[in-house]
Amino acid sequence: MAEPRWLNQTEQQAWRAFIAAQRVVNTRIEQQLQRDAGIPHTYYEILVRLSDAPDGRLRMSELAVATLGSRSRLSHAVNRLEQTGWVRREAIESDRRGQVAIITDLGRQKLVETAPGHVEEVRKSIFDALSEEQVEHLYDLCVTLVRHSGDTIDRAAWERR
């Protein structure tokens, strides 16, 4: 068995700072969405993904991959979004087991109402603290980590052209 590759002191500090930053930012964003919109970040992300999709619809399997969630967690979230009238599901005729999630007009309205507060919290939590150069570095670091650790289904949406 190979010897473990322990982190050196600098790597350990960077790792702990990364985890701390991720937790603080995620907590602030989650709190803002719960307080102002009454929804968790996961629900907001589902609405955004559907809103960005052609015709406002995605296969449930694609939506699970895009949100990096399990199919059962996604199904539960979409059930809740259906109850609010923000999303509906339809069967796929060519695939007996397949379903698509579709954002409704009410779901789009929820996004319109929620987005300004969400963007302001993202700005306060991240971008107000960084210089333009640091934002460029953050982007480069995040792209590198995503590519190295498994990539994402939606790379084209956030990767620079």
Residue range 77-117, pLDDT digits in tens? 999 999 999 999 998 877 777 899 999 999 999 999 999 99
Give start and end residues of each alpha helix (H) in 53-104. Answer: 60-66, 71-84
Confidence of residue 1 (pLDDT cuts 50, 70, 90): confident
Q: What Rg, from alpha-carbon coordinates, does the chain have?
A: 18
Q: Where in the chain is the domain with CATH 1.10.10.10?
A: 20-128
Fold annotation for 20-128? Arc Repressor Mutant, subunit A (1.10.10)
pLDDT for 66 beyond 70: yes
pTM (2 d.p.): 0.87
pLDDT for 121 beyond 90: yes
Placement of tokens 């709190």 in the chain: 31
Give start and end residues of each alpha helix (H) in the chain. Answer: 9-37, 41-52, 60-66, 71-84, 105-125, 132-149, 155-158
> Between β-strands 95-103 and 57-59, what pairing exists: parallel, antiparallel or unpaired?
antiparallel
On whether the CB atoms of residues 95 and 74 are closer than 8 A, the answer is: no
